[in-house]
A and B are shown apart, each in its own frame.
Chain A
Amino acid sequence: MAMEILLLLGLLAAALWTVMTTRLLRSVVGLALTSAVLSIIIFRLNSPVAAVFELSVCAGLIPVIFITTISFTQRIAKSQIQERRRERFIRFFLLPVIVVVAGLALLRWLKIPALMLPAAAGETDVRLLLWNVRHLDLLGQIVILLAGAFAVVILFKEPRK
């Protein structure tokens, strides 16, 4: 249990750092760190396939997309940096306080539920489940990937002369 609490605290700290840091690149690194910690948690919850996806895609690919996007934009002028930092501090200094207060309130008032759980049933292998039972999900994934590819093609289409 102590390890779980440590990992969850690490996850929350990484997410807070991601949101509160002033530089965008640090924010993206924080996001990758958050994903890496989450993938460890998922792995410890007996879900290795989802953990591998989380690690390779969310901690690997998505930060690359963000860094590519950031690299196409320009830095703000040096004269504006201090003003932006001050503005960000005013907007975000409340966040850790809100998170701590919400955490304490949930710990204090949220009662442990006594749920009636259904008996575990169905396919236990994720590969077989995905191919044999959830094949509509796969179809949906293919459609959404194609939609994303078309979106990128249309967004970056050069106008004809």
Chain B
Amino acid sequence: MMTPELSQVFWLYSIFAALLFITGLYCVLATFNLIRVLVGVEILIKAATLLIIVCGQLTGRQALAQAIVITLIVIEVVIMVAAGGVILCLYKHNHSIDTRKLKNLKG
């Protein structure tokens, strides 16, 4: 059973992770700039990272949580590099990174 102090800490971190998630999701949904969409995805990943570390601390399995977070960070970097490349290619072809102007695949 969790001690009251541990419960309170977990509860606090969970609330802030949820608020961080809301911020990232709003950024992804409300913007039309592709770079800002990536920034929003980054914030979503940060919320997930925070929650994984807190759960590791709560269950006493910090090593496992750290291993998962390291894997997550590696995946995050590769996604950002590949997505950056895609954005640059789109910019080269369309001279814009505004999603409203990307209509080349529209049927």
Residue of B nearest to A106 (CB): B15
Residues in A neighbouring B24, C-beta threshold 8 A: 15, 19
Total number of residue pairs linking A and B with CB closer than 8 Å: 220
For B21-44 the 0/1 string (1 means CB < 8 A from A) is 011101100110101101110110
Residues in B neighbouring A42, C-beta threshold 8 A: 49-50, 53, 69
Q: How large is the interface on B (under 10, 10 to 19, 20 to 34, 35 or more residues)?
A: 35 or more
Contact of A151 among B1, B23, B82 (CB under 8 A): B82
Contact of B77 among A61, A73, A125, A140 (CB under 8 A): A61
Q: Does the CB pair B15–A34 fall under 8 Å?
A: no
- Does A77 touch B at the CB level, under 8 Å? no
- Does B71 touch A at the CB level, under 8 Å? yes
Q: Does the CB pair B46–A62 fall under 8 Å?
A: no
A62 to B77, CA, bound (A): 7
Chain B residues 27 to 80 lying within 8 A of chain A, measured CB to CB, are: 27, 30-31, 33, 35-36, 38-40, 42-43, 46, 49-50, 53-54, 56-71, 73-80
